[in-house]
Structure 1
């Protein structure tokens, strides 16, 4: 039986890729007078927060404090957008599962965005960001802090599922010993999930059906 559901954040719960592409284009154009390409963004996507900033903007400045300041300022102009039914699902089942977030994004961004979206952060027993670990996906040790909390609640790895949108989400969760479910809001990683026979859904409506119908999960 599944007792805890952990989520990736970017592109799993919210449409970060779509939103932040616009932020990055505006920042690079207005501040650095250049156009960062989609390929450059893709190469940086998924890196821990500070590595992400340096990968994109390090050639303009190596001052992380400055890069954080301008990135956060520009990102305030582009509010992130939840995936349909994402937080409705969590609200609906808040008394059935323990919900958590494990993300490589910075707490500066994630916590602010949840506030902007008026999401009750107490729906999650833990929101683990890049600020709380020295390792990051695909290193499976990224799950040790949050699993330590669940272990204290007598919840085992076999009672936990991690839901994410990318190959690194699967690789880290699988190696750590969690169940995994992909969520493919678009087609970028469908081939990866299919070729590896990795279970996945395409929406939170499908997620609800999957959990309700999967033998041994409920």
Structure 2
């Protein structure tokens, strides 16, 4: 039987790409092939990593060097989507289900587009219908690391009677941490993307090595250890 962790938060908000799902490697291969096949661009991994995390339209404009209209570049990218599917990180679905079963409000705030994320959540077996709030890059003109990216979420939480002090954002990148901290949200890093546990520690963020550590870290027994990075 899995242990039960009394939660220290009413609302747990997740980033999506590289937090709940493994994205960066498969999308690097995806964007590299689109750039090569349609635009004759030899995309480098350095250029990809330097721009990873931007809203989709901004990302493809840079990676494909504005070689076409945004709409045509979107179509080129989408034409290969089925060849490069995202996969859930181990334990991701279980963590979300267990949080919901313990009464937490679960939400997603991501730089990806909401419709695509909703499709991925359903396809990968997440309880999409139980996730109370999904915000994509197409829902706001403000994007991470700008703390104002969380303004629509704050409105949702107020309507639900949930305070910021009882809300935490879980993400894989330092831009997630900066945005959450600036918005007055607590933050937990997961070292499943480009940011390591050591980099989170140096920045002043607590972190866990994988999603398996999320529930214990959000429980009351560890509430006094929030400055510590968990490896």
The TM-score range, normalised by the shorter chain, is over 0.9
Kept in 1: contact 2:13–2:108 (CA 8 A) = yes
Kept in 2: contact 1:25–1:35 (CA 8 A) = yes
Structure 1 counterpart of 2:223: 215
**For the residues of structure 2 that align with 1:15 and 1:139, how far apart are their CA atoms?**
24
| TM-superposed deviation, 1:192 | 2.2
TM-score norm. by structure 1 comes to 0.92
Structure 1 counterpart of 2:3: none
State which of 42, 49, 52 in structure 2 corresponds to 1:45.
52
1:151 aligns with 2:171: no
Structure 2 counterpart of 1:69: 75
1:109 aligns with 2:116: yes
**For the residues of structure 1 that align with 2:126 and 2:79, how far apart are their CA atoms?**
21
Structure 2 counterpart of 1:6: 13
State which of 92, 97, 100 in structure 1 corresponds to 2:104.
97
The answer to which of 148-157 and 111-120 deviates more is 111-120
CA RMSD of aligned residues (A): 1.8
Q: Deviations over 1:8-37 (max 9, x none)?
A: 111101111011011112212222233200
Alignment of structure 1 residues 1-218 onto 2, 5 Å = 1-61=8-68, 63-95=69-101, 96-185=103-192, 188-212=195-219, 213-215=221-223
Q: Secondary structure at the match of 1:148?
A: helix
Tell me, which stretches of 5 or more residues in structure 2 are unaligned? 1-7, 226-231
| TM-superposed deviation, 1:140 | 0.5
TM-score norm. by structure 2 comes to 0.87
**For the residues of structure 1 that align with 2:41 and 2:150, how far apart are their CA atoms?**
38
The answer to which of 176-185 and 193-202 deviates more is 193-202
CA shift in 2, pair 1:188/1:196, >3 Å: closer
**For the residues of structure 1 that align with 2:193 and 2:108, how far apart are their CA atoms?**
21
Kept in 2: contact 1:186–1:202 (CA 8 A) = no
